[in-house]
Every structure is written in structure tokens, then in C-alpha cells.
Amino acid sequence: MSQQWNYRLLEGQDGYVSIREVFYDSNDNIESVGAEPVMVIANDEEELLTNLALMMDSMKEPAIKEGDFTSDSEDLDFIFIPDENESQKYH
């Protein structure tokens, strides 16, 4: 079974809003969030339009807040989300 993901709006502590990749566990709980905003890039125009449509869909969901996530390093590709049963979940 493949891991589920989508794009979500992230409200930064600096007041800016960005679109991030968000990954979910098998119970649809957020497991990890992209540490950097997504880039609008694709192999062709059709893929670009698909990606943009998915990004637009992200605005239908409530924004997640940057302060809800933790990271031990600034060199990470993903931000780790604390879980009450584990110290950290990693993607």
C-alpha cells in the first residue's frame, strides 16, 4: 500500500502562507510535512495543469500551522510531527 499525500496550505509563524506536501499514515493522520514550499514545475503542460489543480484543491482544507511541527535540524526535507505514542514520526 502506498503512502497517501496531498498538498496543504501552511500558515507560517512569519505570517506567510505556502503550499506544502503533506504525508499521512494509514489512519489519515498527518505524519510529515514538506519543510519547504512546493515548486510549480512539471515535465509537460498537462502535468503542470494537474499539479496546479491539486494545489488549488489544497485551499479547500483548513490550513495547518507551522508551530504545530518540530524539527531537530534545518537540513531536513520534511518536518516531523510529534505523536503522543512516539517521540517523533519520520518520513
pLDDT of 45-54, one tens digit each?
999 999 999 9
Q: Are strands 4-11 and 64-65 parallel, antiparallel or unpaired?
A: parallel
- Give yes or no for a contact between 80 and 88, defined as CB atoms under 8 angstroms apart: yes
Would you say the pTM of this structure is higher than 0.85?
no
Q: Using CA atoms, how far apart are residues 61 and 91, in angstroms rounded to an integer?
A: 22
Phi, psi of 82 (to 5 degrees): -60, 145
pLDDT one-digit tens code per residue, 12-55? 888 999 999 998 888 888 888 888 899 999 999 999 999 999 99
